[in-house]
Amino acid sequence: MTKKRALGKGLSALLENANTDITTKNIGSEGKTVGSISSIAIEQIEANPFNPRTHFEEEQLEELKDSISVHGIIQPLTVRKLGRDKYQLISGERRFRASQLVGLTEVPCYIRIANDQTMLEMALVENIQRVDLNAIEVGLSYQRLIDECNFTQEQLSKKVGKSRSNIANFLRLLKLPAPIQIGIRESLISMGHARAIVSAGEEDVQIDIFRKIIEDELSVREVEALIKSQKAGMEEPKSAPKKETVLAENLVDFQNRLAEKLDTKVQIASNNKGKGKIVINFGSEEKLDQIIDFINQLDD
């Protein structure tokens, strides 16, 4: 027995919300009881203008058409009421198109109440739950929910049942150059490859790595290693540590005697050109005054 794939957390929360389901009355003169499944004429249903999915694979539609021809529509479409005898799809556009190809005149539907904002949200959330979406399509759906539904990443995380890091990973892909985004759409590279490329730096470097992945059939780990080695090669070499000049014996002796007289640490530094400095440390103003008095006494 195959397990029925559950709706995503966000979509189920939207479609199963009692506030979107009319259960207490019939709709207009048609007498269609909403809250149960109603058969609606295909000619009365229009496509969802908020559907982020505009391309449908012909082969997949044909397979769905064959299934509907044999088994009928197993999962009803979800629609909203527009006006007299008019409905608009909320979800199920592939089933709707396949039903048209089969030649059905009516399809089973759930009828919901939804304004434009809710329609867009439902369509985008449903879109994210699809298993056949590529990473760019998912990222674009996330971005639209943020831009057009005014969600924060935290709110979006709760809405679609995904972690914030998962959402952030998909959104980062939208910053990649267009050729790479097309490569992701066309399955030339994987999500893992794409995530590695994001960290590569400049756009020309990203595109160069993208081409290497395709030409050399690099694995994700190989790409990560390549990027790491390139970054290491771009780092400026550290300057060589300065060689310490060995202090002459007479200066060492003077340094020690001065430190003893002042009762503090004294450092003498000298280079091979005869230049250098004397550093006398003090830990308080009182100690500084003592050092100054000692030096003044040398003039007497």
The CA distance from 258 to 121, in Å, is 80
Distances (CA, A) of 254 to 82, 257, 262, 270, 278: 99, 5, 12, 13, 11
3-state secondary structure 77-130: EEEEEEECCEEEEEECHHHHHHHHHHCCCEEEEEEECCCHHHHHHHHHHHHHHC
Kindly write down the DSSP assignment for every residue of 208-252, as one continuous string: HHHHHHHHHT--HHHHHHHHHHHHHHHSPPPPPPPPPPPPPHHHH
Is 93 noted as a catalytic residue in this protein? Answer: yes
| Closest listed residue to residue 48, CA positions, set 110, 142, 124 | 124
Catalytic residue among 93, 121, 126, 137: 93
Q: How is the chain split among helix, strand and coil, in percent rounded to 5?
A: 55, 15, 35
Contact between residue 78 and residue 89 where contact means Cβ atoms under 8 Å apart: yes
CA distance 290 to 27: 100
Q: How far apart are CA 121 and CA 124, in angstroms?
A: 5
Distance CA 169, CA 190 (A): 13
Q: Closest Cα partner for 128 from 119, 117, 141, 118? A: 141
DSSP character string of 129-163? H-TT--HHHHHHHHHHHHHHS---HHHHHHHHT--
Give residue for tokens 């939804």: 114
Residues recognised as catalytic = 93
